[in-house]
Amino acid sequence: MDIPVRRVTGDEVSFFGEHGWVRLPRLVDPAAVERLRERAAGRLQGRDKGRRTLVDEAFGQARDIAESDELFGALALSPTMGRNAVHMLHGVRAVRVQVTNLLVKEPGEHGATEFHQDFPWMPMDRSAMLTVWLALADVPADMGSLRFYDGSHRHGLLGRSFTRPGDDQLSRHPWLKELELSPPLDLQAGDATAHHALTVHGAPANRRDTTRLSFTVTYFDADALYTGAPYQQTDGLGLVVNEPFEHPRFPCLKP
């Protein structure tokens, strides 16, 4: 099953390297996105809306969607998606899929997503990792599209967020406000952003009266080694410390 995906350009790769994020207009064919959106709506109908964590207050999610849905699986495992990730993560020979997700931000139900880095929780020994955030429907800026602190990926690990209320990267590191914040982005269905796992990013609350709906897939360096750090996704899989992530949960894509 094929999901049409375009290749990233040299300019987009360069922008990503400099800024730690990039906008990718029309990354996925709009007709294919319509099919994905229909699948997503069905998957999210019966989701549990009970709030349990600070993450749940920011957005709803259906994790590992690509493992149970062939369309999202085809997108996550697209050779072009893998090639794009390899080119943006400079010096990486191949990537593995770390996680896929359907994300929903409901007006009135979810608040802002605090500014954070993705990597501090991860059990990998290197930070070559990025997330592609695909709009499954039009996402005007005031619906809660992502915003990024330019160049923040160059400042290393800044600590974990979502550990207690108000504990975001800006409260811990006020100097981040010296960096330029990316402009509000109006995304059309099929547009995407990509951001490095060390890039500080967040999103405002959804101010519209319709749902913000997106799909994300995270890729990491295929040669990364498992550190053994506790992490719900990897605990109990039998991974070996200081060995690569050779497991069906982390399929490898080569350019």
For the stretch 185-219, pLDDT in tens is 999 999 999 999 999 999 988 888 888 899 999 99
- Give the C-alpha separation, 11 to 45, whole Å: 39
Tell me which DSSP letter residue 218 carries.
E
Residues 52-94 have pLDDT tens digits of 665 656 567 778 888 989 999 999 999 999 999 999 999 999 9
Query: What residues form DSSP beta bridges with 165?
Result: none
Residues 113-157 have pLDDT tens digits of 889 999 999 999 999 999 999 999 999 999 999 999 999 999 999
In Å, how far are 29, 85, 103, 112 from 254, measured between CA atoms?
A: 22, 10, 27, 36
- Give the C-alpha separation, 200 to 150, whole Å: 8
Do 190 and 135 meet the contact criterion of CB atoms below 8 Å apart? Answer: yes
- Give the C-alpha separation, 114 to 161, whole Å: 8
- Give the C-alpha separation, 86 to 135, whole Å: 21
In Å, how far are 10, 148, 205, 248 from 108, measured between CA atoms?
A: 40, 24, 9, 38
Do 128 and 220 meet the contact criterion of CB atoms below 8 Å apart? Answer: yes
Tell me which DSSP letter residue 22 carries.
E
Which token pair is 201?
Answer: 């990013």
- Give the angle 132-162-197 at the CA atoms, nearest 5°: 30
Q: Is the pLDDT of residue 47 over 70?
A: no
Per mean pLDDT, which range of 2-6, 43-47, 249-253 is the poorest? 43-47
Residue type, 13: V
- Give the C-alpha separation, 216 to 235, whole Å: 22
Residue type, 85: A
Which token pair is 154?
Answer: 């160059």
Could you tell me the pTM of the whole model?
Answer: 0.93
pLDDT of residue 153: 98
